[in-house]
Amino acid sequence: PSIESNINTLKGRGQPLSESTRSFFEPRFGYDFSKVRVHTDGKAA
C-alpha cells in the first residue's frame, strides 16, 4: 500500500491530548490543540 493510503487508514485514531496538557500548552503556543491526536500503538512511529 502507498504511504498516503496508510495515513488515511490511520486518520482519526489515537487519543486527544488531556485537558491539563492542552490548558498548559495552548496559551503558550497560541494554538488550539483540540484536533491533535496522540498515537501510541504498534503502528506509531
- What does the pLDDT look like over 1-45, one tens digit per residue? 688 887 777 666 789 999 999 999 999 999 999 999 998 877 777
| Residue 45 covered by a domain | no
Contact predicate 30/11, CB 8 Å: no
**Nearest alpha carbon to residue 37 among 17, 19, 23, 21:** 17
| Residue 27 covered by a domain | yes
Q: Could you give the number of structural domains in the chain?
A: 1
| Residue 43 covered by a domain | no
Assigned C-alpha cell, 31:
494554538
Burial of 25 (C-beta count, 10 Å sphere; 0-12/13-18/19+): middle
